[in-house]
Amino acid sequence: MGFLDDAKKKLTDAVDKHGDKISDGIDKAAAAADQKTGGKHADKIAKVQSKAKDGLDKLDGKNDDLR
């Protein structure tokens, strides 16, 4: 097993154990960014938030993040 395979396995295990906390962090970061920009970039922030949660779903193999 190579370095990247090992890193992906560790990341996948962390997502399996703490996916809900990571998802909450994504939501909080998006809300903070939206607040800092005064809502000017809400559509772009929402798109990034969605992509981040899609990536999270790919790592844990579940489509369980609330949107």
Q: Is the pLDDT of residue 63 over 80?
A: no
Q: Higher-confidence residue: 33 or 56?
A: 33
**What are the extents of the domains in the chain?**
3-60
pLDDT of residue 67: 46
Provide the whole-model pTM.
0.76
pLDDT of residue 26: 96
pLDDT tens, residue by residue, 1-55: 689 999 888 888 888 888 889 999 999 999 999 999 999 999 999 999 999 999 9
What secondary structure does DSSP assign to 1-67, as a single string? Answer: --HHHHHHHHHHHHHHHHHHHHHHHHHHHHHHHHHHTTTTTHHHHHHHHHHHHHHHHHHHT------
